[in-house]
A and B are shown apart, each in its own frame.
Chain A
Amino acid sequence: MALPPYLLHDVTIAVTGDTSPLEIRLEARLRLLPPSTMRHADVTFDLGVCVEPRLTLPRPSGRGRPVYEHPAGDYSYFVETDELYLDHAGIAVAHCQPTIGLTRIRAMERTTAIEVAAHLMFTLPFIEMLKRRELFGVHASGVCVDGRSMLFPGSSGAGKSTLALACARAGMSLLGDDLVFVTRDAHGPNIIGFPDEVDVTQSTTLLMPELIALVPEDVGATGAKRPIRPERVARDIASRCEPGTLVFPHLTREARSSLRSITADEAATALAPNVLMTERRASQSHLDALVDLARVCRSFRFDVGSDIREQPAMLLRAFAG
């Protein structure tokens, strides 16, 4: 099976390689992107399942510096050769050449390896290759209201997905569950959605039990998170919108949520960790885009309580305010 080329904003994404469970998992992540009519891809993912990923994709020589902290992984960037090399305990390996737009991913044929390959091994090179093409990643979920974004940036476990799901269930258009992109034109930054699968945790289903019926039994979920097709939880999927608000969630044990305004300086500082520590010029452009986004958005800290049914209305009031 060869997956069709996908289009994200103006970037054509090709997925090549053997028929494999990895391809099926990636298709699940990319399937809502429109097909591209371009004959040549801007970025290509070459996939393979094998017994020894490290032998197929050996670590580049030279000095690498860590770009992502993970106890089971070596996620390094090689300055001299401009390569990204990701090795997750030997079960899944990715080698990315961001300038030419090629990432090769190899994984063992077991569920955990396929999931790591379809997520971390894909996502970090995806962000880096798109960064070189002026699409700057933000680790955030987000919705679109009246053509403007409401983004929830934060690290894993900050409550991004739950907030976006609550807003989508309340009728707002979904931009993405975990990742969105910023692009810039003469008028300033714009938000590009990435309609990935929505990862639902047990804590989310405790707050929104109606989601349990939407979680498929047979999709490759491992452990705490279960993927749901975004169109099953959101009435509309938004591909692009103008910047609106940035809402930084912080989970609390309080019953009631509270929202307070923060400055563009605070928002810009909070967004800075989205920049992968790679090539200098592209990383500077990434930082510029994030700071520009913080400058044009109204920003809030959101202390998230257990009152999930009230949160969308509270956020909408702040959005309209």
Chain B
Amino acid sequence: MMESSMRPTPSPSVLSRRALSALVIIELESGRYYSLDGAGARIWELIDGAHNSEEIVAAIATEFRIDTDIARADVTDFLDTLQKERLLAAA
């Protein structure tokens, strides 16, 4: 699990581009493709090395008008998934 002070960044082998509401993501090493929309796409945009995970939680809670604890659980789960898929740079 990622610590709240960590500032996640995309892996250097990841490409991404927003279409309209969805983000298209490609991981060059594995050759996998992903499409994210909604909160997932927004979280990905906040994974820029400038925001720590608690700041990402706060942004998601505000923008999607959800309880901070629920946002924290969702963001944590999502970051874990991204890490398992090797879409995040090694800490």
Min CB distance B16 to A, Å, is 8
Render A263-285 as a binary contact track against B, CB cut-off 8 A, 1 for contact: 11101110011010110100110
| Cross-interface CB contact of B15 among A265, A269, A280, A294, cutoff 8 Å | A280
Known: A265-B35, A272-B33. A283 touches B26 (CB 8 A): yes
* Chain B residues near A225 (CB-CB < 8 A): none
Q: Measured between alpha carbons, how far is A295 from B19 in the docked complex, in Å? A: 6
Render B19-51 as a binary contact track against A, CB cut-off 8 A, 1 for contact: 111101010110101010100000000000000
* Chain A residues near B28 (CB-CB < 8 A): 65, 277-278, 280, 283
Interface residues on A, range: 20 to 34
Q: Measured between alpha carbons, how far is A156 from B24 in the docked complex, in Å? A: 23
Min CB distance B23 to A, Å, is 9
Min CB distance A137 to B, Å, is 15
| Cross-interface CB contact of A273 among B18, B21, B29, B33, cutoff 8 Å | B33
Task: Tell me whether A303 is interfacial, beta carbon within 8 Å.
Answer: no
Task: Tell me whether A238 is interfacial, beta carbon within 8 Å.
Answer: no
Total residue contacts A-B, CB cutoff 8 A: 58
| Cross-interface CB contact of A265 among B21, B29, B31, cutoff 8 Å | B21
B24 contacts A268, C-beta separation under 8 Å = yes
Task: Tell me whether A21 is interfacial, beta carbon within 8 Å.
Answer: no
Q: Measured between alpha carbons, how far is A126 from B21 in the docked complex, in Å? A: 33
Task: Tell me whether B13 is interfacial, beta carbon within 8 Å.
Answer: yes
B17 contacts A265, C-beta separation under 8 Å = no
A291 contacts B26, C-beta separation under 8 Å = no
Render A37-81 as a binary contact track against B, CB cut-off 8 A, 1 for contact: 000000000000000000000000000011100000000000000
Q: Measured between alpha carbons, how far is A65 from B28 in the docked complex, in Å? A: 9
Task: With CB as the reference atom, state the residue of chain A lying closest to B25.
Answer: A272
B20 contacts A269, C-beta separation under 8 Å = no
Task: Tell me whether A134 is interfacial, beta carbon within 8 Å.
Answer: no
| Residues of A in contact with B (beta carbons under 8 Å apart) | 65-67, 263-265, 267-269, 272-273, 275, 277-278, 280, 283-284, 287-288, 291, 294-295
| Residues of B in contact with A (beta carbons under 8 Å apart) | 12-13, 15-22, 24, 26, 28-29, 31, 33, 35, 37
3 A-B pairs with the lowest CB-CB distances in the bound complex, closest first: A265-B22, A268-B19, A269-B35
Further pairs besides A269-B35, A287-B15, A294-B19: 8, Cβ < 8 Å = A265-B37, A268-B22, A273-B33, A278-B28, A280-B13, A280-B15, A291-B18, A295-B19
Question: 14 interchain pairs (CB within 8 A)?
Answer: A65-B31, A66-B31, A264-B20, A265-B19, A265-B37, A268-B24, A269-B24, A269-B35, A275-B15, A277-B28, A277-B31, A280-B13, A283-B26, A284-B17
